[in-house]
Amino acid sequence: MRLFSDSQVALQAKRLNIASVAHAGIAEILSLAQSLEHEYGIPFVKMDQGSPGLPPNWVGIQAEIKALESGVVSIYPPSEGIDVLKKAGSRFLKAFLNVEVDPRFCIPTAGSVEGSFIASTICTQMKPGKDTILFLDPGFPIQKAQLAITGARWRSFDIYRFRGNALRDKLEAILSEGNVAALLYANPSNPAWLCFSERELQIIAEVAAAYDVVVIEDLAYFGMDSRVQYGTPNQEPYIPTIASYTGNYILLLSSSKIFSYAGQRMALLCVGEPLFETVSPALTERYHNSGVFGATLVNSMLELLTSGCSTSAQYAYAAMLNAACDGALDFSADMSLYASRARKMKSLFQKNGFEIVYGLDEDREIGDGFFFTIGYGAYSSEELVMELLYYGISTIPLGSTGAELAGVRCCSSQMTEPMMSLLEERLDLFRQDHPTL
């Protein structure tokens, strides 16, 4: 039995000016679920938005309070970031990725959303004819939507059928056209939780180098592949990264998930030295400056967008990064709760006739973590989003992420034990109304 009727969903969607629920964005689905919950008093199982589901890290809170009390917030922050954070970022990358990144090349941004916007923008402006970002999907829809602001082009492909050596052939076919400025992916990926292997990262680096393409690696879910025990500083296994294979990279390192510090919008954009020092005549012409990639990014872009980042949040982020390097903060152990929740959720879905859509990572089962994907029978992504809404379960369609396979994304972050029990009840109702063949 449905918990919400067609008319109830339609009424709330109309009030929120949502033209099509089936094609709604993440924020619209979240708003619709909240509106239905408030209007009819029926709690939703919210698996749509990827907000952290753990308390903010206390190391960061203490450091931020100390910074606020010291009075530093009365002074504008330097656009390139405060030294203590830049040094902490460099130290953190060495401790957990085993790569050397000079502190000068670690630049704070207002979350990785701003970082990806700046990275995509400058890459599509630095060389004539290279005006396109290639997304290795399934991926984060906002990163594509950002390009509409500048008018940059993009294309994408679903990597699920192009793993291992097949990835090389696919990349060669696209990059050889000559118009791709940068390729962008997350590792692990949102929403499918696919993880590139060391061999695949080497392939990406080699093909990108052959066609002079920048690699933008989003590390929002840093070290959250539960199949490997990451998280011990300066010891193997190190977290795989493109920075091990090329200097032509930009890393996006966010505080939102690994430290549950999402509300302060704090991240680092870390640039490989060869790319940072690249001189672009096209950038000189556009911004009337030296044309140096790194200087343009900081002085002609970041300074104009946000004029730097919150000083107190920078001190907080630096403290958390340093505590992790010292072994006093085990972010990997903290994040393991998401993997535990995902395992329970997957079991409930599969018991009720759902399948894990992106179930294999090359030749291994997908890991457990922040996201996973599910499908049901012949339902399209949009149909399944709608049908689950009627049972008080909010998700987002895979179609919006560039996925070829039909299904929806599920997020484990908000799934407390009471919410897990509620999910079990809702899925039982769904199964009774939708018997599988």
Q: Summarize pLDDT for 53-98 with one digit per residue, the tens.
A: 899 999 999 999 999 999 999 999 999 999 999 999 999 999 999 9
Strands across the sheet with 371-375, in order?
Answer: 355-356, 371-375, 408-411, 396-397
Mean pLDDT across the stretch 207-231?
96
pLDDT of residue 437 exceeding 60, the answer is no
What's residue 302's pLDDT? 95
What's residue 10's pLDDT? 83
DSSP 57: P
Mean pLDDT across the stretch 276-286?
97
Same fold, 6-54+332-433 and 58-326: no
CB of 218 within 8 A of CB of 184? yes
CB of 228 within 8 A of CB of 17? no
Architecture of domain 58-326: 3-Layer(aba) Sandwich (3.40)
- pLDDT range class, residue 400, cuts 50, 70, 90: confident
What's residue 22's pLDDT? 66
Q: Over 68-109, what HEC string results?
A: HHHCHHHCCCCCCCCHHHHHHHHHHHHHHHCCCCCHHHEEEE
CB of 194 within 8 A of CB of 376? no
Name the phi and psi angles at 12, rounded to 5. -70, -35
What's residue 29's pLDDT? 78
Sorted by where each begins, the domain ranges of the chain are 6-54+332-433, 58-326
* Residue 362: CB atoms within 10 Å: 13
CA–CA gap between residue 229 and residue 225 (Å, rounded): 8
Mean pLDDT across the stretch 201-213?
98
Rg (CA), the chain: 22
Mean pLDDT across the stretch 214-242?
95
* pLDDT tens readout for residues 367-393: 999 999 999 999 999 889 889 999 999
- pLDDT range class, residue 297, cuts 50, 70, 90: very high
pLDDT of residue 21 exceeding 80, the answer is no
Mean pLDDT across the stretch 200-204?
98
- pLDDT range class, residue 305, cuts 50, 70, 90: very high
What's residue 37's pLDDT? 87
Q: Which of 128-137, 279-288, 381-390 has the lowest mean pLDDT?
A: 381-390
281, with CB counted inside 10 A (0-12, 13-18, 19+), is exposed
Mean pLDDT across the stretch 214-241?
95
Architecture of domain 6-54+332-433: Alpha-Beta Complex (3.90)
pLDDT of residue 215 exceeding 80, the answer is yes
What's residue 19's pLDDT? 77
- pLDDT range class, residue 112, cuts 50, 70, 90: very high
